[in-house]
Copies of this chain bind each other. A is one copy, B any other.
């Protein structure tokens, strides 16, 4: 039973400064190198706050993050690659053999002794059916048609910070299925360790915009737990401090 892992393989060095220099670029006549050297850490934070607050999000595109995402299902990867402003390279079922494949077990099923036994049995039967086809000379690219959505995969994904804001906004949302929510939360946690002054402003709309687009009445699901440090700064919306305070207590 596989657990999703998210590891940061590489990323733009000094990401907060890169974005802050870009933010200055529009307004200044000074060379970029000067802007780079002159900006104090405080100013960097202040610029990041201002561009995100004013939704000048294009400057976030100058920094990229490359993740190894592993132990996730192909159900997840099929959804993940729908985020198009990104680059992916994925372990291919046409090229790498899936003998003894690992699989993801949804938590509701894992917690039920009967369901989990049946689920595992189904997976075992599929493993046997897959192997029998390979033994009879069927190519991996065809035998893979019996493999289940639960089958795990490994991929490398590169995304810029703007696209990651969008992914986090959609996928940490409480109406999202558990697997993508887990992966998005892990991505957010990793990003908070390397660019906290950017990613503390990322989150689902209920947190960053005090609005919910899901459901008929936009009801809140109450499932999002904010990452420590990812405190929403005031001023994102025309709203009173009291409203924000009330909000952060309830979700």
A87, closest chain B residue (CB)? B61
Please pick, from B7, B70, B145, the residue contacting A149 in the complex, using a CB distance under 8 A: B145
Question: Count the A residues whose beta carbon is within 8 Å of the partner chain — how many?
Answer: 95
This protein's copies in its complex: 4
| Residues in B whose Cβ lies below 8 Å from that of A238 | 211-212, 218
Which residues of A, 45-75, contact B by the 8 Å Cβ criterion? Answer: 53-55, 58-59, 61-64, 66, 68, 70, 73-75
Which residues of A, 175-211, contact B by the 8 Å Cβ criterion? Answer: 177, 209, 211
| Residues in B whose Cβ lies below 8 Å from that of A88 | 58, 82
Known: A92-B27, A138-B115. A12 touches B11 (CB 8 A): yes
Any B CB within 8 A of the CB of A222: no
A112, closest chain B residue (CB)? B136
Any B CB within 8 A of the CB of A251: no
Is B78 touching A74 in the complex (CB atoms < 8 A)? Answer: yes
Is A10 touching B13 in the complex (CB atoms < 8 A)? Answer: yes
CA distance A93 to B53 in the complex (A): 23
CA distance A12 to B156 in the complex (A): 14
Please name 15 further chain A to chain B contacts, defined as beta carbons within 8 Å, in addition to the given A25-B154, A26-B92, A109-B133, sorted by A numbering: A9-B33, A10-B12, A12-B66, A28-B91, A58-B88, A61-B87, A61-B158, A73-B145, A87-B160, A109-B142, A115-B136, A122-B146, A125-B125, A142-B177, A211-B237
- Which 8 residue pairs spanning A and B have beta carbons closest together? A32-B68, A61-B87, A145-B150, A106-B142, A84-B84, A22-B89, A55-B213, A25-B89
